[in-house]
Amino acid sequence: METRLDLVFAALSDQTRRAILTMLLEDDMAVTDVAEPFDMSLAAISKHLTILSRAGLITQEKRGRVKWCKLDPDALREASVWMQGFGQFEPVNLDAFERFLEEELRDEA
């Protein structure tokens, strides 16, 4: 049986999809705009978005011919709870996270 947690972690295991989530952290975006920075077909991005959507990490709403993608952090929270359970972590270091973010964005460029 495939659990929600399976889907979330599988969705997060791809750099392209993590980069998409990072982009959506800034603002909601249309599919075409999500695809723009990537060296990849629109169809491929569409598939990635489907995977993120099935995992519950984003929601998609169609207005007119444009489909808007919006981050939905609920699923992430669930996964985060699972991970934090392994315990020996210091309180979250946001500086470390920002370095991470920059690195991910740099890799993508």
Partner DNA sequence: CGCTTATTTAACCGATTGGTTGACGATCGC
Partner DNA sequence: GCGATCGTCAACCAATCGGTTAAATAAGCG
Burial environment of residue 63 by CB neighbours within 10 A (0 to 12, 13 to 18, 19 or more): exposed
Q: What is the number of helices (H) and of strands (E) in the chain?
A: 6, 3
3-class DSSP assignment, residue 47: helix
Tell me the closest approach of the beta carbon of residue 76 to a copy of itself, in angstroms.
Answer: 5
Q: Judge contact between 76 and 28, C-beta under 8 A.
A: no
Contact track, a copy of itself, 31-70, x by CB under 8 A = ----------------------------------------
Using an 8 Å Cβ cutoff, are 20 and 35 in contact?
A: no
- The residue within the footprint of a copy of itself, chosen from 47, 73, 102, 105 (CB under 8 A), is 73
By CB under 8 A, the residues from 90 to 109 that bind a copy of itself are 92-94, 96-98, 100-101, 107
The alpha carbon of residue 34 and the mean position of all alpha carbons in its chain are separated, in whole angstroms, by: 11
Q: Does 50 bind DNA (CB under 7 A)?
A: yes
**Binding site residues, a copy of itself, CB under 8 A:** 1, 3, 5-10, 12-15, 18, 21, 25, 71, 73, 76-77, 79-89, 92-94, 96-98, 100-101, 107
